[in-house]
Amino acid sequence: MITFLASGLWHGAAWTYVVWGGLHGLYQIIGEQLQPLRNHINERMHTKQESFSYKAGRIFITFCLVDFAWIFFRADSIKGALEIIRRIFCSINPWVLFDGSLYELGLNMTEIHILLVSLVVLLLVDLVKYKRQLRLDLFLDQQCIWFRWLVLLFLFFACAIYGKYGPNVDSSQFIYFQF
């Protein structure tokens, strides 16, 4: 717990970071304490722990817990974070998923499209790494020249056009924009 609280403080001198770190510590403690109970339930329910669905379920729960903690990391204050949480659970309005509100949250439609394409690229690179056990450059070395060049040119122009650089961009601000 102390390690996670310290890692929260390392990100900034604010209670929001402390809570963010504390939540991660809490997840670890609860996870560890509940391990026997989870094992017991899995045994009784004959859960197929090696199945894709079981693993996907675990990934989903971890993703939700980490996202929940991020609310505190991103919020300006504890009060602000609690207000966001209140709205998530008490002001449910699915229409916001379709009325264009998503494009008002910081990324416009073009940027969201770029983000989606980038995620696909990232996924492909990960697949190469884990399935073929190869770094991208070594994988490309094994490919035909036209494919290699296409990938290199695509990556170059994607970075040149959509990259965050230039006189109005402070990269340190981009990485730790509230540090």
Partner 1 sequence: MGKKFLKITLFICLLIAGLSYTYSVLSLKMQPGLPNMYKLEKNSVDVMFYGSSHCNYTINNAILWKDYGIASYDMVGGGQNLGSTYYYMEETLKTQKPALMAVELVFTSWRRTGLEDGGNIYRNTINMHWSKTFFENLNYAVDLAEGSEEIKEAIALKYPVTHTRYSDLTEADFERDGYLRGGYNPSWTKDHYKESEVKKFMSDEIGELREDDKMYLEKMIDLTDKNDIELIFFISPYVLREGDAPYFNAAEQFAEEHNIPFLNFNKMYDQIGFDFDNDMRAEKHAGSHMNNFGSAKVTNYFGEYITENYTLPNLWKNGGQEYFDAVAQYWEHMEQNYEISRLNNTNEYLEYMITLMQNHKGYMVMVAVDGAGFNDEELLTSLKKIGIGQAELGTGGHWIFLDGEAQFSSQGKDDFLYYKELENHKFALQGINGNWNFMLDKEKSGKITDGLNIFVYDQITEKIVDKIGIDSTGKIVR
CA distance 110 to 117: 11
Given 54, 70, 162, 179, the residue binding partner 1 (CB under 8 A): 162
- Judged by CB under 8 A, does residue 70 bind partner 1? no
d(CA 150, CA 50): 38
Residues 80-109 touching partner 1, rule: CB under 8 A, are: 108
CB of residue 168 vs partner 1: minimum separation in angstroms?
A: 7
Under rule CB under 8 A, residue 110 binds partner 1 = yes
Helices (H) and strands (E) in the chain, counts: 9, 0
Closer residue to partner 1 (CB): 63 or 103: 103
What is the smallest separation between the CB atom of 32 and partner 1, expressed in angstroms? 47
* Longest pairwise C-alpha distance within the chain: 61
Please tell me the distance from the alpha carbon of residue 169 to that of residue 19, in angstroms, as a whole number: 30
Distance separating alpha carbons of residues 4 and 46, to the nearest angstrom: 34
Residues in contact with partner 1 by the rule CB under 8 A:
108, 110-111, 145, 149, 152-153, 156-157, 160-163, 165-168
